[in-house]
Amino acid sequence: MPTRFLKGALAAALTAAAAMTASAQSLIRDAEIETTLRNWTDPILEVAGLDPDDVGLYIINDPELNAFVANGQRIHLHTGLLIAADTPGQIKGVIAHETCHIACGHSISRSRAANVASRPALISIGLGVLAMAAGAGDAGAALIASSQQFAALNFFVHTRAEEATADAAAVSYLAQLGQSPSGIVDFFDKYRVQEVLSESRRYPYFRSHPLASDRIRTTRALAEDTGLMDVEPDAQTVREFELMQAKLIGFLEPLARVYQKYPRDDESEPARYARAIAAMQSSDMTSALSEIDSLLEEFPENPYYWELKGQALFEMGRAAESVEPHAKSLEYLPGHPLLLINYGRSLIARADEGDLEAGEEALRDALIREPDNSFAWNQLASALEKQGRRAEAELATAESAYHIGDYQRAHIFARRAIEDLEDGTSQARRANDIRNVTDPALPENQDYWRRRG
């Protein structure tokens, strides 16, 4: 009985710890921001010996300052980091640092380090449980509470060398591109106060990337040795940086914060952009369209301003008017999947003669580029249903559910589609595949179905 009790308590404690470190975060999809970050990231990946097509880049809607590599070759950047940066070089420095964690094989070594680091934590939890069972509740609680700190300290012992390697690699990658590595030094200097804060008060980035004075000095020396510290970013990079921040602030920050940073008398391009987005978010469509039109008058070939106008019109219930701006966005940036999805959605909502077929075509073109885009599948299901193609719409719904991990819904609609699709067709085979892979009888799916009741 004591052994079973200890094992149960350990499992409960570990589960609680995992729950505390996990958080419900949503990914942001935006054609402009993704293009900007890709333009900055891909050259860094190439000099690191990586294929950009193999490395995912994800933007997480989270105000905390953080960036990390997870789930293989996937770089994740928080919106909090993108907004807090003072220069494009700071963001590039962080990206270059995270690139080394992929190129240098740190994901594998960190997994091993985590296993080693967890051993003292398990011992601490076990002693805490025994102390509580013996009647020393306060001492037991203190031991269990300290287990996470023990694990973190041991983990950082194993990863400190990797952080130094990533710093040096980041400087090297940027130098090979002829770009200044000053951004990573400035980033460390800006947040060096994090090192004296308690663990709970630090930004997440500096919990997993702890700063130290010797680390900053070493990185600065390496950066200065390149002779590139004073190289300024080109005007286009600065413009991309300013517009990215304006867009994020316009969408994510409170209205008062937007107008504080971009007052009405500021007629710069980023200021008008941020105010247009903020006005749209607050349903002030007169102001939103006024600001957007001023941008389009000055930059008539900017696809993202046409995209924003189409979005504003669509969200104010003027779907028919939103078709033309979305078409214009594709005229200046052909084939971009997110722009195709917007265009297809507007066509389906307008539903004039030929619109459903054109909307379906746009969505299928987008899905060629992004076959796992759940929203595109959802919109395609709508287009197919409106055309009376029920079985195909059910398959598209199954695809949409599958790609967001809703296996229960995917299984139900795949079974419905199979009943109506012609045997032997590629669509019937695909429906059968989804049905089989989400089958509750499969051992790997049993935990999911159990959670869903």
Contacts of 2 (CB under 8 A, 6+ apart): 133
Q: How far apart are CA 342 and CA 329, in angstroms?
A: 10
pLDDT at position 360 is 98
pLDDT in tens, 316-358: 999 999 999 999 999 999 999 999 999 999 999 999 999 999 9
User: Which tens digit of pLDDT belongs to each residue from 163-186?
Assistant: 888 999 999 999 999 999 999 999
| Structure confidence at residue 445 as a pLDDT band (50, 70, 90) | confident
For residues 47 and 452, what is the distance between their CA atoms, to the nearest angstrom? 46
Q: pLDDT by residue (tens digit) across 58-81? A: 999 999 888 889 878 999 999 999
Residue 139 burial (CB count, 10 A): 14
pLDDT of residue 189: 81
Mean pLDDT of the chain: 83
Work out the pLDDT band at 397, boundaries 50, 70, 90: very high
Amino acid (one-letter) located at 318: R
What helix, strand, coil percent values describe the chain, rounded to 5? Answer: 75, 5, 20
Q: Which residues contact 449 (CB under 8 A, 6 or more apart)?
A: 407, 408, 440
Position 131 scores a pLDDT of: 46
Classify strands 56-61 and 74-78 as parallel, antiparallel or unpaired.
parallel
Instruction: Give the pLDDT band of residue 143 (cuts 50, 70, 90).
Output: very low
The residue with tokens 């078709």 is: 323
User: Which residue in the block uniquely carries the two structure tokens 């517009």?
Assistant: 243
Higher pLDDT, 327 or 130: 327
Cα separation, 149 vs 207, in Å, equals 11
Q: Does pLDDT of 391 surpass 90?
A: yes
Domains belonging to the chain, first-starting first, are 27-107+158-226 (3.30.2010.10), 237-451 (1.25.40.10)
More confident residue, 276 or 212: 276
* pLDDT at residue 149 tops 80: no
Beta-carbon contacts of residue 227 (< 8 Å; ≥ 6 apart): none
By C-alpha distance, which of 388, 389, 402 is closest to 431? 402
- How large a percentage of the chain has pLDDT more than 90? 66
Using CA atoms, how far apart are residues 387 and 366, in angstroms rounded to an integer? Answer: 19
**Phi-psi map region of 422: left, alpha, beta (phi>0 left; psi -120 to 50 alpha):** beta
Looking at residue 451, its pLDDT comes to 72
Residue 132 to residue 178: CA distance in whole angstroms: 60
Dihedral of CA 309/311/315/320: which sign?
positive
Average pLDDT over residues 257-276: 97
- The helix/strand/coil state of 11 is helix
pLDDT, tens digit (0-9, with 9 covering 90-100), for 78-127: 999 999 999 999 999 999 999 999 998 866 544 554 454 444 444 444 54
**Residue 14 in this model has a pLDDT that exceeds 70:** no
Where is pLDDT greater, at 451 or 151? Answer: 451
Residue 152 is predicted with a pLDDT of 44
User: For the chain, what is the largest distance between any 2 Cα atoms, rounded to a whole number of angstroms?
Assistant: 78
404 to each of 44, 57, 289, 378, 379, how far by Cα in Å? 30, 18, 34, 11, 14
User: Residue 211 has what pLDDT?
Assistant: 57
Cα 67–257–25 angle (5° rounding)?
Answer: 35
- The pLDDT tens digits for 196-246 are 444 555 555 555 555 567 778 889 999 999 999 999 999 999 999 999 999
Q: In the numeric block, which tokens belong to residue 431?
A: 């429906």
How confident is the model at residue 25, as a pLDDT?
Answer: 60
Question: What percent of the chain is predicted at pLDDT more than 70?
Answer: 77
pLDDT average, residue stretch 51-57: 96
